[in-house]
Structures are given as structure tokens and as C-alpha cells.
Chain A
């Protein structure tokens, strides 16, 4: 019998103080003035990334992203199955690219404040760690996940 991974919903939630990345956001165009309203949490998540412009899949970037993903993410995320964290196939269709990058770069604050991330922590009780990835690395991971979802 295959040993499935049991995830027990535990009421305890551990989080640690995580400073958001200190660099200014890297965007392809200068960031548009963002209205800083606390109540209006957008579907872009919370963190350093306010806008990502997507083009056609950059294969070299996706390849780099896969390498980083294998080293720093794959211990907890599979593509097709629930593991320590949710399966990631289709994530680029479910979430905005900014949300994905903010979740990678700013997971502690995301699970405290972002309604979707909060819900995920209730379902997968292991706090997602920040894995010391740069914004460039996070962008590469996003490209890899896009390439998976677009079957390229």
C-alpha cells in the first residue's frame, strides 16, 4: 500500500517575523502609483511585487526557474499531488503572477494578512518558509510554473 501523506489540521499556527525583501521592486515598467488603502487587499497579494508584465514564455528563464524550484521548493510542493504544500499545477491560472511572487518572497506576512494565503495555512498547517530567493529568482520560478501550465 502506498503510504499517503497525512496532513493533520492542527490549530496551532507558527509564524516568524519575516521582513519583506528590502530591494525596490523590479518591474519592466516604472510602477504605477499605487493607492495605499489598507482595506483594499488586492488579488496581487502583499509584498514587494506590485506589477509583473508577462510576455511569451522565456525558455531560458523557465529552465533556471526549474533548477531553483527543485532545490528550494520541491521538498514541499509537487505539481500534481497535495504534499506539504498545495499542488502547483494550474497555479498561474488560479492566481495573479504578482500574488505568486509575493507568496514566494513574503510568505510570513502573506499568511497573516492575505485572505487566500490565510485559508491555505488552515489547510496546510506548515508555515511556508522564505527560502532566501531574490526577486529575480522568484521571477524565474514564476516562469517555470507558467511553462508547466502552458505545456511548453
Chain B
């Protein structure tokens, strides 16, 4: 690891400032989506400036907006394990058409309770989440296919399938892996199309082919030793582990021919209806599982040194780079050689019905002495690959056809993944690479024991990579994807149109604002506009009531949300976007007067945007009464 002195020296000559300076009022050239890791969310930055422009709520509840607290959004976080308020989000993946980014959706995986989310890039809101059955630790995910036909999932942790109560040391006998293909190209219709039953290894990362290799997806595995304890040592014994090559077009044939088992499984599919401003959950009850023994040609193993992490396919679809994190070489496989080896049955052996191809028969070349701890690779479209190296803290640039390193650049420190703009597409933009560093000590002002992770921006347009910028990120980004701003910016929504608001409790006009009692439930149909609520005085609420404040923001102007919260609320506030309806549920516990107010500074009279609820004792005869200003009802 470079010393601090070296780091300071490397800090860039003065001319780099102009490369990253985006003057106030001007926009960046790229959107970059960073996974939040243990924050469970996604953060969006403008590049090259490194300015944060959004945090997208995905797998974790969000007290700023009420995501995961309101009845409208709680269903998004439902799983077969119940309501889960958090997850560990690792890999964002931007949807593609013909192998190029199309700017429609961003997908991201949840690692802990296996799920994949879809984020709509017209609203930057999470609109769909599907749970993955027969899985544990959804790490090699979502990495989709060339036309977003599928996003994929795999088990980092093998487990009994179906789940059962067995001794852990019966691992070899009872534990299995799965690789799943989830239909992704229709919003609201995500579905586990099929799963492939795999040996009980740990499946780590994935990439799908493009161009000639479209129809295949590749998954790294480690722990082919099938250890179940002290993996640090016991899973690092074999010289080679495997890249699993899955032929999903073949899997589709097998499904069509009935060569699968319909296995009982319970998992959730949650969908946010943007017109109703409301999420719904459906529970699925079975899944199609393909056993490779019954579907010849669906899966092959490519031996790959040693505990590989990344598996990355070049922009032309021909080369498959393994990130052998404990290996002394970077193995580069050839897709066309792989097809030939399959045709010639150049097999070493078979594991659970899956042929293991001969290493030499699929290998294009080994990049010798690349660096220490190679992890993950992306491509610039000009014949160069860029691999992050965790142990030696650097990025190496190499000619992957000629198998020759041409440049290396230090990172500060311990880089995990990297990103090249568009580096997993048929047409990378190149231009910039970003290092996502795991260790940040001494790179920022000290802020106690916990530090943010850093991102370092490299100009890769020339022969030599040049570090030009550094900024700090939210959560722990494991990966990021960048897209030309032009592919998204003009289709981003500014408001929700009131006319299209089909929320069952929406009120679109102040004159319809009202309060209704149904037994112990009180529904407040409330409106908000700069700078008052209607109604803003409510009486006749009693202890023991459950009060639903259904609040519609009547504004139709960009960037004018209003917030709503009431004293003693046990949930987060709600932040309601223009034209949107959200609900805050409140159970008053004692008689008295309770103020509510707008939390978002909305106008000169924002501080006047407030109201009162009077709560009377349980069983009292207090009649319902509500009004705003002189318009007493």
C-alpha cells in the first residue's frame, strides 16, 4: 500500500481542476449510479464533478420521505420472511437494448434477503422488487442480458434446496446452489423464469454475453472445495475453481420441452403502481427448476485460477476475463474456443451433470504478473481492459488480445470494483474510470473511527491513466454504472399529474377535502398547497382511533414537495411530491391538542403552514369538525 507521502505526491498537477470543474448552473456529462452496500440504497452522482444529486430509496426504509413507513410503500419491502426494513445492495446494472444502455431502468440486487429491484429512470423511484427463492446471499446479480430479456441471480451461500433441518457438516451431501433467470423487460411483470440447480459452491459474480456470446451468462464460483467452516483457509485449497457458463437459450428450450421440475417455493413480487401511488404484493408459490442432468448443454464449467471474483466479457463478446483474486495471473478465456471445446467434447470430468472443459482448450492467454489481488475488469472499446487490484491498490490497463500490460495507476487505497463508463456494453464510452476504494484513512478530514469510502476519478482518454478527482460516497459502494446524461435527462418526470392521480384516497380539489369516520378509523382527505393544509383544524378525534392522513399535494410545479408530520407520530414524516398522495397513520394516545406542520421549506410563508388536531378522551361524544380559515364546514 502506498504511504501517505506518495499519495500526496501523486495528487495531481494543477491542470486537472479544469477537467472536473463543472461551473455552477452547468450539468455533468454522465450520471453515475453507485450501490449503497450496507445503506441498502443507490446514490447518484454527476461526473466529472463528483457532485451528489440523488439518493434513491430501494431496500431500506427512508425517514426523509416515508418510504417503507407508509401503507403505500410498505408492500415494497415484504418478503417471505416478513417485512424487511434493510438490505445490502451491491451491483447496479443499467438496462440495455442491443447491448447498449437504453436509459430505461436500473436494476440492483439485495444480498442478504435475495431480491432484485427495478428503478424507473423517469422518476428515479423503485417500482418493483422480486424475491429470489431457493437462494441465499444474492451476490452474482443482477447483470442482465443484451436486450434486458433477463437479469440474473445466484447463490453466494449454498443451502439445502428445498430448505431443511440438517447438520451443517452434511454440506457435501445436502447443500446446493442455484442460478436464476428473471424476466425483466416488462415493468410490473418480473418473474423467475427458471432456476438451474448447481453444485454446492459459492457463486460470486456474473456477466452475460453480448454479440456472439449473447445467449450465455457467466458466473464465477469459489469454495469448490465445499468447505463449511473457516473458508478463509479451507476454500482456498484448489488451484482452480470454475466459471460456470450457462446457455440460457438452451434452458428456454428445456422449459418449453418440459425438462424441469415445478418446485414449491414461497416468494414475493412487489410492484408500485405509479398512477395509484401504491404498491401491491403478490405471493408466488412455485418455481421451475432445471437439473443439468436432464437438460444437456445448459451448463459448463471453465477451470479458472484461483477463487475468481469478477467474470467480465469484452465489448466484442469474445473474451471472458476472470478476476482470480488469489491468482498470480489473469486468465482470459475465449468464447469461440469454448464453443469449439464443447463441440469436440474436450472435457476433463463432469460434476453433477455439468461437463468441466479443459483449461487449455478454452484459454486465450494468461496475463502474467499483472498485480496482486485482481478483482474486476471493464473495457474501454479501444482494445484495452482495466482491472482493479485490491491487494496492490492499483488499476492496470492492458491489451487483452495481445496479453500485455501497458499502464498502471495507484489507488488510495484497496480498490474493490472499478467502473469504466459503459464498460460492460458493446459500445463503451471510455473517457473515465472510477475506482471504488475500500480503505480511506488519511484521504479526508478525520471524522472519528467510521469513514466514508472514496471514489477516485481517472481520465483514461490518453495513453496513461491520470487521477483527476476524488470524492466520498454514501454507504459502501460495491459497484457503479455510468451512463451519458443525454440518454436519461430529457425523459425525467418533473411532477405527477393530478389528472392521472388514481390513489383511492386522493382529493384533487380543496372543496373535496374532508374527514370521515368509520368506526375507530378516521380518514382525513387532506390537501396541501403553498402554504396551507385543508383542513387545518380537525376536532372529534378520540383516543383509540387510528387516524389516516391521506395527503395530496395539489402543486403542479417542479421541485415543490410539501412534508407532513404530527406530534407523537411513531412513523417517519411523509414528503409528498407535486400531484402525489401519501398516507401517514397515527394513533393518538392521550387527549390534547396536537400540531402538525409542513417539513419542507416551501415558500415565504412556509412557517405558517401548520394546523391542529384536537383529541378527546375515548368514548367522548366529540363530533367531527374540520375547516380551514373562514371556510368552516
Interface pair B604/A75, CB less than 8 Å apart? no
At the interface, yes or no: B530 with Cβ under 8 Å from chain A?
yes
Q: How far is the CA of A6 from the CA of B608 in the complex (A)?
A: 10
Q: How far is the CA of A83 from the CA of B531 in the complex (A)?
A: 11
Interface residues of B in 546-560 (CB under 8 A from A): 554-560
At the interface, yes or no: A4 with Cβ under 8 Å from chain B?
yes
Given contacts A74-B510, A131-B556, contact A83 B629 (CB under 8 A): yes
Interface pair A132/B557, CB less than 8 Å apart? yes
Give A83's nearest chain B residue, CB to CB.
B629
A129-145 near B? 1/0 per residue, CB < 8 Å: 11111000000000000
Given contacts A74-B511, A84-B530, A129-B530, contact A16 B558 (CB under 8 A): yes
Q: How far is the CA of A8 from the CA of B530 in the complex (A)?
A: 14
Interface pair A70/B497, CB less than 8 Å apart? no
At the interface, yes or no: B527 with Cβ under 8 Å from chain A?
yes
Q: How far is the CA of A16 from the CA of B555 in the complex (A)?
A: 13
Interface pair B629/A127, CB less than 8 Å apart? no
Given contacts A72-B554, A132-B497, contact A8 B511 (CB under 8 A): no
Interface pair A125/B604, CB less than 8 Å apart? yes
At the interface, yes or no: B532 with Cβ under 8 Å from chain A?
yes
Q: How far is the CA of A70 from the CA of B509 in the complex (A)?
A: 6
Chain B residues lying within 8 Å of A150, measured Cβ to Cβ, are none
Interface pair B530/A71, CB less than 8 Å apart? no
Give A130's nearest chain B residue, CB to CB.
B557
Interface residues of A in 46-93 (CB under 8 A from B): 70-72, 74-76, 81, 83-84
Q: How far is the CA of A77 from the CA of B608 in the complex (A)?
A: 17
Q: How far is the CA of A2 from the CA of B628 in the complex (A)?
A: 11
At the interface, yes or no: B468 with Cβ under 8 Å from chain A?
no
At the interface, yes or no: A10 with Cβ under 8 Å from chain B?
yes
Interface pair A132/B604, CB less than 8 Å apart? no
Give A125's nearest chain B residue, CB to CB.
B604
A34 to chain B, nearest CB (A): 27
A interface secondary structure, majority? loop
Interface pair B603/A127, CB less than 8 Å apart? yes
Interface pair A129/B509, CB less than 8 Å apart? no
Q: How far is the CA of A10 from the CA of B511 in the complex (A)?
A: 28
Q: How far is the CA of A15 from the CA of B495 in the complex (A)?
A: 17
At the interface, yes or no: B508 with Cβ under 8 Å from chain A?
yes
Given contacts A71-B498, A75-B529, contact A14 B604 (CB under 8 A): yes
At the interface, yes or no: A40 with Cβ under 8 Å from chain B?
no
A87 to chain B, nearest CB (A): 13
Partner of A125, one of B555, B557, B605: B605
Q: How far is the CA of A43 from the CA of B579 in the complex (A)?
A: 33
Partner of B605, one of A3, A18, A126, A129: A126
Chain B residues lying within 8 Å of A126, measured Cβ to Cβ, are 530-531, 603-605
B interface secondary structure, majority? loop
Give B498's nearest chain A residue, CB to CB.
A71
Q: How far is the CA of A126 from the CA of B608 in the complex (A)?
A: 11
B392 to chain A, nearest CB (A): 48
Interface pair B630/A3, CB less than 8 Å apart? yes
A137 to chain B, nearest CB (A): 10
A77 to chain B, nearest CB (A): 11
At the interface, yes or no: B534 with Cβ under 8 Å from chain A?
yes
Given contacts A5-B629, A83-B629, contact A72 B605 (CB under 8 A): no
Chain A residues lying within 8 Å of B509, measured Cβ to Cβ, are 70-71, 74
A132 to chain B, nearest CB (A): 3
Chain B residues lying within 8 Å of A2, measured Cβ to Cβ, are 630
At the interface, yes or no: A32 with Cβ under 8 Å from chain B?
no
Give B510's nearest chain A residue, CB to CB.
A75
At the interface, yes or no: A24 with Cβ under 8 Å from chain B?
no
Partner of B530, one of A12, A70, A127: A127
B559 to chain A, nearest CB (A): 7
Q: How far is the CA of A12 from the CA of B559 in the complex (A)?
A: 18
Interface residues of B in 344-392 (CB under 8 A from A): none
Given contacts A10-B605, A71-B509, A81-B630, contact A129 B532 (CB under 8 A): no
Interface pair B604/A129, CB less than 8 Å apart? no
Chain B residues lying within 8 Å of A16, measured Cβ to Cβ, are 557-560
Interface pair A131/B557, CB less than 8 Å apart? yes
B466-492 near A? 1/0 per residue, CB < 8 Å: 000000000000000000000000000
- Between A71, A72, A74, A127, the greatest number of chain B beta carbons within 10 A of the residue's beta carbon is seen for A71
Partner of A13, one of B534, B604, B608, B629: B604
Q: How far is the CA of A8 from the CA of B604 in the complex (A)?
A: 9
Q: How far is the CA of A5 from the CA of B511 in the complex (A)?
A: 18
Q: How far is the CA of A8 from the CA of B555 in the complex (A)?
A: 22
Q: How far is the CA of A18 from the CA of B511 in the complex (A)?
A: 28
Interface pair A12/B604, CB less than 8 Å apart? yes
B325-339 near A? 1/0 per residue, CB < 8 Å: 000000000000000
Partner of A129, one of B498, B508, B560, B629: B560
A148 to chain B, nearest CB (A): 16
Interface pair A3/B629, CB less than 8 Å apart? yes
6 contacts between A and B (CB under 8 A): A5-B629, A75-B534, A84-B531, A125-B605, A132-B495, A132-B556
User: Chain A: residues with CB nearer than 8 A to chain B?
Assistant: 2-8, 10, 12-14, 16, 18, 70-72, 74-76, 81, 83-84, 125-127, 129-133
User: Chain B: residues with CB nearer than 8 A to chain A?
Assistant: 495, 497-498, 508-511, 527, 529-532, 534, 554-560, 579, 603-605, 608, 629-630
Q: Which 8 A-B pairs have the closest CB atoms?
A: A132-B556, A129-B557, A75-B529, A125-B604, A71-B509, A131-B556, A10-B604, A75-B510
A3-B629, A8-B605, A75-B529 given; name 9 further pairs at CB < 8 Å: A10-B604, A70-B510, A83-B629, A84-B530, A84-B532, A126-B530, A129-B555, A129-B556, A132-B556
